[in-house]
A and B are shown apart, each in its own frame.
Chain A
């Protein structure tokens, strides 16, 4: 039997509303997880190159532990495994405030942070060691050298690979449907279930992800151009004189 397209399912009934609420939840989840990933990844990435072994060990443990287990497993871990370990008051709070959402934020944030830290580490390692020497030779502590010299340069260098990681994070947020976070993919499947129009529903979801990814990539490209170091050759259209 020939498949009968019926695109109107996307704007009749509750579909539009579902898509919109899915989109909003995907954005909330991704933004929070992204912030978490950037903070964790920056700290861990810096620690992994620090001239002090215990810091490197802690960061290496974090990275290897979290990035070598599938994200799906982490979703289950944070959703089923962590709440019983929490103190009573916090437990009550998360059960009352969509546990599945916060579990997904943690799972995605901590996992992506481990991946982001590897990106940052390679960025830091591409900076000549002599720049740290010049910093400490002028009296800065190693921590100050990282804060004012190494990280500002490394973060600029890694914008292109960090963009890919950010897109991965957005797409990976769909794994949260397994712990019943009603994000975008969850909602497309709901439309499919209610209308039996799989292709239409999936097309709608695909298009939304596509628009989001292109938007993120353009924003990151803009950030890259805005922060480009004058005179240095960069991948993008860095300002030149």
Chain B
């Protein structure tokens, strides 16, 4: 397998706060990595570095063989290659679901409207809400909005998808519809980094689980080992807290 994302000695500070400390991690192409850890441990920051929403101060990040932390990075090419889904959906409220999905293909890739519409409708089909194409975000449920957001991220045909707590803002009954779509994606071979505390999803879908604490990657394990026999005390402590309820 070829490496899709490599973090090499990555360090990042927010002012005096050392949020990423010597992170070394390789995500293989087609691999699904779930990142968990306590709030404030740097999970979001870690994945936001991959599409350069955050810049690092030390170390290197390589995406598909290309360094993305050097001075000469083709940002829009990188971001077309890496899709992102946010906790708060962040759909464009003044556009219909369909328009949300079409915007980047039309404006960034310069696709003609009809071509982009075809792609967008297929994607809405794939996230199982073709009937919501003409609805505005405010008239969709949280689960539907997040699925539109996934379709929007897929519209640029990325090779990597980043998910930052995609189900944390959802009512419990909507979590599964989003996880199902993500599971489909994983089965199709998408490279995914998923910040999530959905341990059922991690067990079933992840190839490896990363545990972060205090800006450090504490443990990286396949899910069976991660849940059955975590090596670090910090991991055990964290798992006992989130699995107890």
Contacts and interface: CB of A to CB of B under 8 A. Distances in A.
B136 A229 contact: yes
Interface stretch (A40-48, A59-67, A81-89, A137-145): A137-145
Interface string A129-149: 011011111111100100011
A128 B76 CA distance: 22
Contacts of A137: 51, 53, 79, 83-84, 153
Contacts of A134: 84, 86, 90-92, 149
B176 to A, nearest CB: 24
A232 B75 CA distance: 33
A70 interface: no
B143 interface: no
Interface size class of B (residues with CB under 8 A): 20 to 34
Interface in B73-120: 75-76, 79-80, 83-84, 86, 88, 90-94, 103-104, 107-109
B185 to A, nearest CB: 17
Contacts of A140: 76, 103-104, 107-108
Interface in A127-185: 128, 130-131, 133-141, 144, 148-149, 152-153, 156
Contacts of B149: 134
B94 A139 contact: no
Most A CB contacts (10 A, CB to CB) among B80, B93, B104 go to B93
Nearest to B103: A148
B53 A131 contact: no
A232 B79 contact: no
A231 B136 contact: yes
Given A230-B136, A231-B138, A138 B88 contact: no
B66 interface: no
Interface size class of A (residues with CB under 8 A): 20 to 34
A229 B108 contact: no
Given A131-B92, A231-B139, A241-B139, A138 B86 contact: no
Nearest to A153: B94
Given A153-B94, A230-B136, A230-B139, A133 B53 contact: yes
B137 interface: yes
B161 to A, nearest CB: 11
Contacts of B121: none
Contact of B90 (A133, A141, A148, A152): A133
Question: Taking each of B91, B104, B137, which has the highest tally of chain A beta carbons within 10 Å of its own beta carbon?
Answer: B104
A138 B104 contact: yes
B152 interface: yes
A16 B156 CA distance: 64
B155 interface: yes
Nearest to B79: A139
Contacts of A153: 92-94
Given A148-B103, A229-B138, A138 B94 contact: no
Nearest to A232: B138
B53 A148 contact: no
A189 B119 CA distance: 65
Nearest to A150: B92
Contact of A144 (B93, B107, B139): B107
Interface string A104-131: 0000000000000000000000001011
A220 B142 CA distance: 33
Given A140-B104, A229-B138, A241-B139, A133 B86 contact: yes
Contacts of A128: 88, 90
A135 B75 CA distance: 13
A153 B156 CA distance: 23
Interface of B: 51, 53, 75-76, 79-80, 83-84, 86, 88, 90-94, 103-104, 107-109, 136-139, 149, 152-153, 155-156
Interface of A: 128, 130-131, 133-141, 144, 148-149, 152-153, 156, 229-232, 241
Shortest 4 CB-CB distances between A and B: which pairs? A231-B138, A134-B90, A139-B108, A138-B104
21 contacts: A130-B86, A130-B88, A134-B92, A137-B153, A138-B104, A139-B104, A139-B109, A140-B103, A140-B107, A141-B76, A148-B103, A148-B107, A149-B103, A153-B94, A229-B93, A230-B136, A230-B138, A231-B136, A231-B137, A232-B136, A232-B138
